[in-house]
Chains A and B, each alone.
Chain A
Amino acid sequence: MTVVRNVRNWFYERLEWDDLIAPLRKKTVPLHRLSYWYFLGGITLFLFVIQVLTGILLLLYYRPGANEAFESVQYIMTQVQFGWLIRSIHSWSANLMVFTAFAHMFSVLFLKAYRKPRELTWISGVILLVLVMGFGFSGYLLPWNTLAFFATKVGTDIAGQVPFVGHAIMVFLRGGEEVTGATLTRFFGFHVAVLPGLVTVLITFHLLLVQRQGMSVPPHVEKDWNANPTTRRELKFFPNFALRELMAWYTGLGVLGALAAVFPWNLGVKADLFASAPAGIKPEWYFLFMFQTLKMIPSKVWFMDGEVLGILAFGVAGVLWLLLPFLECDRLARSKQWITGMSVFALAYVVAMSVYGYVAK
């Protein structure tokens, strides 16, 4: 132990980090019965770090390219020692990260943490969620298997339906008119360079805002506290909250390890560009609610194509979602009820459509 202390002292004499930690020591986290929801953002961050680390490991063996991608993933899973585990962790962690990011967003929504002055935190968070789904979409293609090939075909085709700019977006995403090896190269670039860069910048911004403004207290808790100030309780961020968060991460790691080891992610069949799509093909679960909606809209609604209408509706919903903090107005008590109602509806819609999409033939 004295060795550790000596090393620590050696560094301390040179770095003197007290003033760096001081704000963390002063920082507190509101403590109430809903405090557990505060962990979700941290867990999402933790899973993102896992993604970066396992992603770097996969890069040691993965080869982008229509003739090599599938074989290289197969090689990772069958020849490289513990390769199956690293890939399985990467896939499981990706799915859990999408789930915790969604859960984090809805918890922020229901705890009303998006209100002034946290509008920018909300906006950066919604953009981060979209980028995370972009990670999922681009990463899904990389093993170059049949399911991924058709998911990419359908997904990029949907982007192509957007009026006026759709075709250009589709060609940009595909690297041509069709999904080919060029698409794989592109998606690889998005997945390992473009998206990580953007996400890192945005996460830094998001976290800086959280550090700067502190954790939000839900309005009804705030009201109780104001009415009865002795009930106000706070937890020191460091070490108390940080240690609890660490415990949550540790549990997350355990769950992830168990899932990855007990249910290894399979690889499927190599993509054949000239084969028919297999029956019952579906996108990843987090795209299911959109997929199912588009499937249910009739092909012609009034004068518009059903697909185009669906995409426009999702586009409008997305923009409203992004601007949600500005839709709530203190002078209009009604606006708060509207937003709560809309949030409940959105959650119910996403869950119901996802389940429906999952069970529907």
Chain B
Amino acid sequence: MATSDPSAINPGAPTATSIPRRGFVELLLSSGIIATAAAFVYPVLRYFVPPKTTDVGGDSVVAGKVGELKPNSGKIFRFGSRPGLLILTADGEYRALSAVCTHLSCTVQFRPDLREVWCACHNGVYGLDGRNILGPPPRPLESFDVQVRGNEIYVTRRRES
């Protein structure tokens, strides 16, 4: 029921002041809802990101015991969260390398018949010093320092100088 008198009390009728007021309430409501959503979405998005894992064990591990390896053989050991490869060469010298292939991160192995390090996934071959010789690997394997203390063989990551 519209009246011609604009001052008549009729809360439902659109008047000059009711439009901005409605707009203000809508703004308040929608920004409140957006703020609530943000307050919940932000922590969830951060939650999805896994924390950085620190390599437990530091820079030095016991890779094996003296006498465990025969000359011209190798074994995988655990170096932090990744595998390492300990080799006893035919000359009786210990070598330690990262066992993670630089091509696509397969775990490499020592091949006594080749006297070289071989990756079974894509036929990559590395020398005993870790140099990439054949196949797809783009970079040499990281090589580690080996020390024999008493009965134990310690492998240490080389400090970057």
Contact status of A80 and B50, CB under 8 A, knowing A85-B43, A86-B43: yes
Distance, CA A86 to CA B40, complexed state (A):
10
A253 contacts the other chain (CB 8 A): yes
Q: A82's contact among B36, B47, B50, by CB below 8 Å, is which?
A: B47
B46 contacts the other chain (CB 8 A): yes
A86 contact set on B, CB distance < 8 A:
43-44, 47
B51 contacts the other chain (CB 8 A): yes
A57 contact set on B, CB distance < 8 A:
44, 47
The digit string for A222-263, where 1 denotes a CB below 8 A from any CB of B, is 000000000000000000000000000010010001000000
A81 contacts the other chain (CB 8 A): yes
Distance, CA A196 to CA B6, complexed state (A):
59
Number of interface residues of B (CB under 8 A): 10
B50 contact set on A, CB distance < 8 A:
61, 80
Distance, CA A75 to CA B47, complexed state (A):
12
| Shortest distance from the beta carbon of B25 to any chain A beta carbon, whole Å | 14
Distance, CA A79 to CA B47, complexed state (A):
10
Distance, CA A81 to CA B47, complexed state (A):
5
- Those of B97-131 within 8 Å (CB) of chain A: none
Distance, CA A82 to CA B42, complexed state (A):
9
Cβ contact within 8 Å between B36 and A60: no
- Those of B4-45 within 8 Å (CB) of chain A: 36, 39, 43-44
Distance, CA A79 to CA B39, complexed state (A):
20
| Shortest distance from the beta carbon of B55 to any chain A beta carbon, whole Å | 15
The digit string for A46-65, where 1 denotes a CB below 8 A from any CB of B, is 00000000000100110000
Number of interface residues of A (CB under 8 A): 14
Whose C-beta in chain A lies nearest to the C-beta of B46? A81
Distance, CA A54 to CA B59, complexed state (A):
38
- Overall SS of chain B's interface: helix
A-B contact count (CB 8 A): 27
B39 contact set on A, CB distance < 8 A:
257
Q: Which of B36, B46, B47, B49 has the most CB of A within 10 A?
A: B47
Q: A253's contact among B36, B43, B47, B49, by CB below 8 Å, is which?
A: B36
Distance, CA A86 to CA B44, complexed state (A):
8
A83 contact set on B, CB distance < 8 A:
47
Cβ contact within 8 Å between A81 and B44: no
The digit string for B45-86, where 1 denotes a CB below 8 A from any CB of A, is 011111100000000000000000000000000000000000
Contact status of A81 and B36, CB under 8 A, knowing A57-B44, A86-B43: no
Distance, CA A85 to CA B44, complexed state (A):
10
A257 contact set on B, CB distance < 8 A:
39
| Shortest distance from the beta carbon of A324 to any chain B beta carbon, whole Å | 39
Q: B49's contact among A75, A81, A85, A250, by CB below 8 Å, is which?
A: A81
Cβ contact within 8 Å between B36 and A80: no
A80 contact set on B, CB distance < 8 A:
47, 50-51
Distance, CA A57 to CA B43, complexed state (A):
11
Chain A residues proximal to chain B, CB less than 8 Å: 57, 60-61, 75, 79-83, 85-86, 250, 253, 257
Q: A57-B47, A61-B50 are in contact. List 17 more A-B contacts (CB 8 A).
A: A57-B44, A60-B48, A75-B51, A79-B51, A80-B47, A80-B50, A81-B49, A81-B51, A82-B43, A82-B46, A82-B47, A83-B47, A85-B43, A86-B43, A86-B47, A250-B36, A257-B39
Ordered by A's residue number, 11 sampled pairs between the chains whose C-beta atoms are within 8 Å are: A57-B47, A75-B51, A80-B50, A81-B43, A81-B49, A81-B51, A82-B43, A82-B46, A83-B47, A85-B43, A86-B43
